[in-house]
Amino acid sequence: MKFLPCFSILFLALTVVWASGPALAAGPLSKSSAPINIEADRMVSQEKDNSVIFSGNVDARQGDLMIRTDEMTVYYTEDGKASGQGSSQVKKLICLGNVQISQGSWLGTGKRMDYYAADRKVILSGDAKAWQGQNMVAGKTITYFLDEGRSIVEGPATAAETGQKDKGGKTGRVKAVIQPKGEKTQ
Domains of the chain in sequence order: 3-177 (2.60.450.10)
β-pair partners for 94: 73, 114
CA distances from 71 to 56, 112, 114 (A): 6, 10, 12
The conformation of residue 35, written as its DSSP 8-state character, comes to: P
- Separation of alpha carbons 138 and 175, rounded Å: 5
Dihedral, CA of residue 102, residue 106, residue 109 and residue 112, to nearest 10? -70
- Separation of alpha carbons 159 and 30, rounded Å: 32
- Separation of alpha carbons 84 and 2, rounded Å: 17
pLDDT exceeds cutoff 50 at 145: yes
The conformation of residue 21, written as its DSSP 8-state character, comes to: B
pLDDT confidence tier of residue 3, bands split at 50, 70 and 90: very low
Average predicted confidence (pLDDT) for the chain: 74
**Verdict on whether the full-model pTM lies above 0.75:** no
Contact (CB, 8 A) for 126 and 120: no
Q: Is the dihedral of CA 157, 71, 102, 124 positive or negative?
A: negative
- Separation of alpha carbons 10 and 77, rounded Å: 12
Contact (CB, 8 A) for 13 and 74: yes
pLDDT exceeds cutoff 60 at 5: no
pLDDT confidence tier of residue 32, bands split at 50, 70 and 90: low
- The SS3 assignment for 7 reads helix
pLDDT exceeds cutoff 50 at 19: no
- Separation of alpha carbons 92 and 120, rounded Å: 10
Query: Between these two residues, 149 and 110, which has the higher pLDDT value?
Result: 110
